[in-house]
Chain A
């Protein structure tokens, strides 16, 4: 069997547990961030596939696109278990929409493959959505640009010989799909329980290589990553005002129905 190169996309995102907002340029404020929690699941999936293919050479690479701070996401990915890290950083990518992100990612993946110099099949794994953009549309756009299938929202995945199989839920149906590599797969938080890096893994990660490159090195120019969507305005949603709070005096159930009736919700 040829070697397998699993390239996992990871994103440095503002911490969803903290207050998030926009800059004056109507871009998401990225002064601080963390490795997206949802991006730990594709990493774990990559490591599990690697462990399941003991007779095959498997390389797990983590790729991030973002400002200098995004190297923190790569560092975490290497601690979790990726073999090497790649960081595409370029000012032309500030304010990237789905189109710009997928164009940059497609070029970056080809660049990473050539840098890795493996004669390998490849598989791209992503999270189910980024915690900031939340579109979930990048995997399919990336697959379109690479000319490969996109099996998204995987709740389970595995490689058997030359075939990749994915279990997913689509509306009210559960599906099992299969395709040959290469492919793009987005992995949900139901697929696995990501491992915590132990002390040894953290020490080991320090020696793992990280390669930083610019858009020009991938062969793209700024015109190829022009957003196709223009943001006109971004305003904080007015805070919800707390309403009436009652303590149950034995009639709260009836008062609830009164409230629903008054609000015409019955």
Chain B
């Protein structure tokens, strides 16, 4: 049976969607064990299918060289064929260290995994590649929205404390929770509504449409650079790469950098008053029109249909 070791770089009161997707894929591929940076893993790990959980003696901070020891110790116990993590900086960094330690191959942003063959998008979504490791276990991060999350609650698995402590080299001086928008995380949302230059500084309609659809709010670089919305909302090659089921582009012309961040979305809808906007070349449904008229009507229609 294939052994899959899943790495969680953080563990809140509940599993994130990405973490649920990781466990779902791991369960499809084989038997699951989990390793966390948290010395006292939360009850969020009470999920069916997790055989064992490995934890350090004390919390290991991001950037600490001891992350390699933690993962290598867990790998020595679990003897994994695959080590999986989320497509985040912290998971990538820890798995990157493990790959050096095990002299194994690392593949980031996987979209599907069969055996040890990984398929992913490269060059900002322009190409699809398949690759496999040369010897050693496969170490990979999984792009959000690649697998439909399906985890079942279970009992809390046995927790094994490994003889690993933080090295002391890295000190976590401060940690503050960023203000919550109450919306799903942009990188893992199933619906994204994104605004650009065309919103002319006012994101309220974009936000209302996102809320009506239960989606996240994104933005083009022009909009974040103008200070209309926080940088964390930026979709594109230097921002967040998204691949939702539905992406609605509002007042964004669709320059290369922006397209790079969203062109693997399931369905793309574009609203723009300029009929020559490049975004219409990749839109499944395009509306040439004034967003201040189109969006309120769409919201009204969505509400009406929900009531009927």
B260 at the interface (CB under 8 A from A): yes
B33 at the interface (CB under 8 A from A): no
Residues of the B chain whose Cβ atoms lie less than 8 Å from the Cβ of A240: 263, 268, 281-282, 284
Complex: A89 Cα to B284 Cα, angstroms: 45
B231 at the interface (CB under 8 A from A): yes
How many residue pairs link A and B with beta carbons under 8 A? The number is 281
B79 at the interface (CB under 8 A from A): no
Residue interface mask B96-139, A partner, CB < 8 A = 1: 11011101111111000000010001111111111111111000
Residues of the A chain whose Cβ atoms lie less than 8 Å from the Cβ of B176: 173-174
Number of chain A interface residues as a range: 35 or more
Cβ–Cβ contact B282 & A242, under 8 A? yes
Question: Which of the listed residues A149, A253, A260, A266 has the most CB atoms from chain B within 10 Å of its own CB?
Answer: A253
- A170-B89, A235-B127, A253-B295 known; A266 vs B108 contact (CB < 8 Å): no
Residues of the B chain whose Cβ atoms lie less than 8 Å from the Cβ of A128: 238
Residues of the B chain whose Cβ atoms lie less than 8 Å from the Cβ of A168: 62, 89
Cβ–Cβ contact A135 & B178, under 8 A? no
Complex: A237 Cα to B263 Cα, angstroms: 10
Task: Please pick, from A22, A38, A226, the residue contacting B238 in the complex, using a CB distance under 8 A.
Answer: A38
A102 at the interface (CB under 8 A from B): yes
B58 at the interface (CB under 8 A from A): no
- A252-B287, A259-B269 known; A99 vs B175 contact (CB < 8 Å): no
Residues of the B chain whose Cβ atoms lie less than 8 Å from the Cβ of A45: none
Cβ–Cβ contact B173 & A178, under 8 A? yes
Residue interface mask B261-301, A partner, CB < 8 A = 1: 00110011101000100001111111111100111111111
- A152-B89, A172-B185, A242-B280 known; A98 vs B285 contact (CB < 8 Å): no
Enumerate A175-194 residues with CB–CB distance to B below 8 Å.
175-180, 189-190
The contact sample of 6 A-B pairs, CB cut-off 8 A, is: A102-B96, A140-B96, A151-B63, A152-B62, A245-B287, A259-B269
Closest 8 CB pairs of A and B: A253-B297, A248-B289, A228-B105, A140-B93, A253-B298, A243-B284, A140-B96, A245-B286
Assuming A38-B238, A242-B282, A256-B294, what are 15 further A-B pairs, CB within 8 angstroms? A16-B237, A28-B123, A97-B106, A153-B89, A169-B178, A171-B90, A171-B185, A177-B172, A235-B127, A237-B263, A244-B285, A245-B286, A256-B285, A257-B301, A257-B302
B residues near A (Cβ < 8 Å) are: 9-10, 16, 61-65, 68, 88-90, 92-97, 99-101, 103-109, 117, 121-136, 169-178, 180, 185, 191, 213, 231-232, 237-238, 245-246, 256-257, 260, 263-264, 267-269, 271, 275, 280-290, 293-302, 305
